[in-house]
Copies of this chain bind each other. A is one copy, B any other.
């Protein structure tokens, strides 16, 4: 025992010198860090976990049967590892219906016969076997467009957007941050004022989209269109596909709708420009898995705290839902596998944290951070819901009045939230979200991982993932800085979001850092400092 105590004393890393005087010196247990690194680097389970999640379970559209399988499998792994309080928590507001697809093919039959590369949008109906129709170009983006094409779409397969020219790939698809780019990331641009006009424009755009989508869906049905096709958002034949139709029971789901490779979409559009008759056959086997709206589920589990702060919680999380074109390997199987692995590592090294360490695998992130927002609102606090339904449909960032925070019981008990959701690249640092006081803490925590490439703390904010649900209500929620690899060039929401584009070593590195951050946050004398809450 004595030997261990001495060793622990010897390896205490003392930091925090940059922090203001009231902040206690930051200590890192390097002995524990070493055990975490060893477990993460040499006994890693992160790739088997990710493989099971993405290839044996598959892509995990929110409320799909595969997502339910993922909830069940992650619970079983957590139980196997001896975690506590393993459970799914249903979101308060029913998410909608589940949807899944099994096959999809589009064939050009004439003027020449060849297969077109396309996948269905989620929450759009299948075709009930092969259906045929002539392609018809009709940009449908406004009510005026609907008027313009009224009565013209019967039996047509409607190409609802304009052709999009190939954009030459003059930069490498795949890249890591360099010392220079990391250094640049440390600078912050003081944000310009958002004018009322700009905000109103954004609100208006959102409002129009909310209003237009059901009109378009119903219009295509009323017209008797056979199917609708849009171009993929990526070039080079890559299929970027997300949702269409509607997940809400009782709303119009429109006609079978697909995203097609830009190259094939443009080929059809050019033929239509030449006034050729383009005959297509579409066959989509897809279905909604219930008639009624169902809740969506977050999966949670804990390593209970054993110290004086055991009622406080450090949460690590990642969204488990994905889109359906690939297998959701980088978005966000990687985050899920890393968070799971971090919990496994902490158990394997025999961590006995002061605070409770909780893992949260969110649902509905791809539909607007829904799972984490629901969880945070019920457990930690929320801004009052607007009474105006139009206002309620606005995301928090676009609401006119946020109001005054209504903290829930455990608002004071959240020590930290750490999220991973920027693809499969290794961790290069952390976004401090303009929380000045955490910077020296994180710098100290990152020091033992400088040698594996994690070096920077930036005051920059990053958004679009679940730490925002915490940050919104003033809780210390953070997302790591990661190497992009090919996430934002090829992989994001596309059919290339599969295991092949994952770098196993990167996920091992990330697992070690997350486990260490969770442990440090669970062991330090105070919860992480909070920044001032932005209310209005």
Chain A interface residues (CB < 8 Å from chain B): 51, 55-58, 66, 101-105, 107, 111-115, 117, 119, 165-166, 168-175, 235-239, 262-263, 266-267, 270-271, 274, 276, 285, 327, 485-486, 490, 495-496, 498-501
* Chain B residues within 8 Å of A104, by CB: 115
Q: How far is the CB of A508 from chain B (nearest CB, A)?
A: 17
Q: Across the interface, do B117 and A236 meet the contact criterion of CB distance under 8 Å? A: no
- Chain copies in the assembly? 2
Q: Across the interface, do A236 and B58 meet the contact criterion of CB distance under 8 Å? A: no
* Closest B residue, CB atoms, query A283: B105
* Closest B residue, CB atoms, query A503: B168
* Chain B residues within 8 Å of A237, by CB: 236-239, 495-496
Q: How far is the CA of A293 from the CA of B146 in the complex (A)?
A: 55
Q: How far is the CB of A101 from chain B (nearest CB, A)?
A: 8
Given contacts A236-B237, A237-B237, 8 further A-B contacts (CB under 8 A): A55-B267, A103-B115, A105-B105, A113-B285, A237-B238, A262-B500, A263-B496, A266-B499
* Closest B residue, CB atoms, query A166: B500
| Known interface pairs A105-B115, A107-B103, A170-B175; A55-B270 also in contact (CB < 8 Å) | yes
Query: What are 6 A-B pairs at a CB distance below 8 A?
Result: A56-B111, A101-B114, A103-B107, A117-B117, A236-B496, A263-B501
* Chain B residues within 8 Å of A111, by CB: 56
Q: Across the interface, do A114 and B172 meet the contact criterion of CB distance under 8 Å? A: no
Q: Across the interface, do B169 and A174 meet the contact criterion of CB distance under 8 Å? A: yes
Q: How far is the CB of A276 from chain B (nearest CB, A)?
A: 8
* Closest B residue, CB atoms, query A105: B105
* Closest B residue, CB atoms, query A324: B114
For A112, A267, A270, the residue with the greatest tally of chain B CB atoms inside 10 Å of its CB is: A112
* Chain B residues within 8 Å of A166, by CB: 500-501
Q: Across the interface, do A172 and B171 meet the contact criterion of CB distance under 8 Å? A: yes
Q: Across the interface, do B117 and A267 meet the contact criterion of CB distance under 8 Å? A: no
For A114, A173, A276, A495, the residue with the greatest tally of chain B CB atoms inside 10 Å of its CB is: A114
Q: Across the interface, do A500 and B56 meet the contact criterion of CB distance under 8 Å? A: no
Q: Across the interface, do B112 and A119 meet the contact criterion of CB distance under 8 Å? A: no
* Closest B residue, CB atoms, query A261: B495
* Closest B residue, CB atoms, query A167: B174
* Chain B residues within 8 Å of A115, by CB: 103-105, 119
* Chain B residues within 8 Å of A55, by CB: 267, 270-271
Q: How far is the CB of A9 from chain B (nearest CB, A)?
A: 43
* Chain B residues within 8 Å of A270, by CB: 51, 55, 499
* Chain B residues within 8 Å of A165, by CB: 500
Q: Select which of B172, B266, B486, B498 is within 8 A of A172 by beta carbon.
A: B172
For A276, A327, A498, the residue with the greatest tally of chain B CB atoms inside 10 Å of its CB is: A498
Q: How far is the CB of A274 from chain B (nearest CB, A)?
A: 8
Q: How far is the CA of A449 from the CA of B500 in the complex (A)?
A: 45
* Chain B residues within 8 Å of A236, by CB: 173, 236-238, 490, 496
* Chain B residues within 8 Å of A173, by CB: 168-169, 173, 236
For A55, A170, A285, the residue with the greatest tally of chain B CB atoms inside 10 Å of its CB is: A55
For A51, A115, A165, A496, the residue with the greatest tally of chain B CB atoms inside 10 Å of its CB is: A115
